[in-house]
Every structure is written in C-alpha cells, then in structure tokens.
A and B are shown apart, each in its own frame.
Chain A
C-alpha cells in the first residue's frame, strides 16, 4: 500500500513538474514576443547582437554543416535510387528523395545540429550567468537581459534553422538531380515539375512553420533550462542535461506531429 502511494505521489510530482516547466517556457516565450512587438526593442544594439548571433549560429558552421549534408544526402539518394531501380519504381525516385530528405530528414538534422552545437552552449552560458549572479548585475545596471542576451539568441536560432534547412534542401535537390540525370539539362523539365507538384503552398508553409518551431525549441528550451538552475555551480551540468533532454523530446514531438498532419 505504501509502495502504491509513493508511486502515485512520484508520478504526480513528475506531472506537476512538467506543467511547471511548460508554463515557464510559455511565459518566457510570451514575454519575448511582447518585447519583440515593442518599438523600443528594435534599436541598433539589438540589431548588432542579433547579427552576431546569426553569425555564430549559422554562418560560422556553414562549411562543416554543408559537408555533413552533402555526405548524408548523397548516401540516402544513392540508397533510394538503387532501391527504386531494383523495384522498377525509378519514376518515383525524385519524389521520394524530396519528401524524405528535403521535407523531413534535413530539417530534423539541422535542428539536431544547432541544438548540439548552440543549444547546449546557450544552456551552459545562461546557467553560469545565473549561478555567477551576472543576470543580477545586469539588472542592477538596468540593462535588460532579455534584450541583450535572450531575444537575440531566440531570433538567431529561428533564422539560422530556417536558413540552414533551406540551404540543405537546395543542396540535396542539386545532388538528387545530378545523381539521377548527371550533368545534362535533359531531366530538368521533369525534375522541376516534380518539385512544383510537391511544393504547394501548404507544404511550403508547413515546412517553414516546422523549421521555425525547431529554431524556437533549440533556443528557448536551453535558455529557460539555464534560468531554472539553482545558484550552485555543481548544478550547471544537471541543468544542461535536463535542457538537452527536453530539446530532444520537443524536436521529436514536432517531427512526429508534422508527419502525422501530412500523411495521416
């Protein structure tokens, strides 16, 4: 009986904990959006920090990222093409490639890449800022941390994930064309017709919304996890661990919901 009560209590505590975390993330996002709509937010200083964030999150990693995308895309395109040939379904190979790679896998990989590289760094930095009282010091100087530290990271994350996913998609399309038709313009008409058939307004809007949500997940969740850190240095790794687990969970949920909405 005691075991049952303890289990129910523990489950209840976990569910309440999840609600508290969810509320914290939602409240932070609301605050960020309200500030985003405020005219005073858009000064030169904020623009500068946003540009710096986009540079650190997207441009600095571009060669490595495109290298990964090149390898993954080339491998998957080769697998899809050879399988399609084996089953005599070559005419569906280009559509399959676009749907699997450009719409699903590459945005997901982009989000994971940014989460591992920038999300974990953000989580650690915000946690350290909190533990070291740097946020209190900024508040004492009446420098708004949301404007200086958090909002530029949110915008940078969203812009970076959208831009990198688009770039990865374009690279995959180019590779798919070259793998199927080689260096001739012979298949251009058929290939572009397939692209036009798949990329209707609903799909493009869905892809953009999904990438934006990925971008928010890989920045918003690490920042809020960092802000939740108790003021104890040994809690910083725990905060990063929690934050990154939440990011992974949310990214998977976004991907699953997007797939369900498209294909079920």
Chain B
C-alpha cells in the first residue's frame, strides 16, 4: 500500500523531481537519467510537469500534494491511500482536485480516501457539480 499523508512529507532539500526519482533510483536501481525521466513523466501525467524544480518550501499545498501523490504512484503498489486530504489540500476544493488528478493519471489500482465523516458533504458537492 502506498500512502499520501501529512505525516509522510517530502525531503525538504530535494526538488519535486528528485523526491520522485529516488524511488526508481534506489528501489529498481535505474540510472540517474532514467529515474529522472520516469519522475518527470509521472509529473507530466498528473499535469504538473512545471513543478519539477521546486523544493518543498517553495510549493503551494496543492503542488506539494501532487508531488507526494506522484511519489506514491511511482511506487507502483496495488493500493493507494490518501489519508485526510483536507489537512494537506487546504488551498483548493480538494474532492474535485483529487478527482481531476485521478482522471489524468489513468493508472491501474485502487485509490482510497480516508477523511473525517463531517467532510462527506464536500465529496457530495463535488459529485453533484459534475
């Protein structure tokens, strides 16, 4: 299971691209160039290739979330759990934002969102607005 959560932050002194490229580099032992290419492809797939050179403190909450999501997706685990997205995505209407990202990613596997029950209304609104 791959998790996207507030308690699993990015490495602060690495760029978004390097944070994602660490996975193919250390887990699958690809070279630096190939790992970077895979990381950039993942960010492009999520529609946020432009955030590649940003470091954690320079990102908006949404950009940080996208990087964390890309890092989780590149792990290629069968389940993806997004843990309390409201704590990370306080600058965008997040149910719709996550739905858009999921549509863009076009990846296999299950995405699960764990959120507080009182936020259910936000998901309902996102459904009705589409």
Contact = CB atoms under 8 A, between A and B. Distances in A.
Nearest to B27: A142
A137 B29 contact: no
Interface stretch (B5-13, B37-45, B88-96): B5-13
Contacts of B7: 133, 136-137
Contact of A148 (B8, B12, B26, B71): B26
Contact of A141 (B31, B32, B71): B71
Contact of A133 (B8, B22, B29): B8
Given A44-B32, A45-B32, A48-B32, A137 B25 contact: no
Given A141-B71, A141-B75, A125 B9 contact: no
A43 B31 CA distance: 9
B26 A143 contact: yes
B37 to A, nearest CB: 15
A136 B27 CA distance: 16
A143 B8 contact: no
B26 A125 contact: no
Nearest to B6: A133
A25 B31 CA distance: 32
Contacts of B11: 129, 134, 137-138
Interface size class of A (residues with CB under 8 A): 20 to 34
Given A45-B32, A48-B32, A125-B13, A137 B23 contact: no
A132 B26 contact: no
B22 A141 contact: yes
A143 B23 contact: yes
Contacts of A148: 22, 26
Contact of B26 (A129, A133, A144): A144
B3 interface: yes
A134 B12 contact: yes
Contact of B8 (A48, A128, A136): A136
Nearest to B68: A137
A140 interface: yes
Nearest to B26: A143
A147 interface: yes
B9 A45 contact: no
Contact of B23 (A132, A136, A141, A144): A141
- Which of A138, A140, A147 gathers the greatest number of chain B CB atoms within 10 Å? A140
Interface in B81-121: none
Given A125-B13, A141-B71, A45 B25 contact: yes
Contact of B22 (A125, A128, A143): A143
Contacts of A44: 31-32
- Which of A45, A125, A142 gathers the greatest number of chain B CB atoms within 10 Å? A45
A142 B75 CA distance: 9
Interface in B5-57: 7-13, 22-23, 25-27, 29, 31-32
A155 to B, nearest CB: 17
- Which of B9, B11, B12 gathers the greatest number of chain A CB atoms within 10 Å? B11
Interface of B: 3, 7-13, 22-23, 25-27, 29, 31-32, 71, 75
Interface of A: 43-45, 48, 125, 128-129, 132-134, 136-138, 140-144, 147-148
The 9 closest A-B pairs by CB, nearest first: A137-B8, A143-B26, A45-B25, A143-B22, A133-B7, A140-B8, A134-B11, A137-B9, A142-B27
Given A138-B22, A141-B22, A141-B75, 7 more contacts: A45-B26, A45-B32, A129-B11, A133-B9, A134-B12, A137-B10, A140-B8
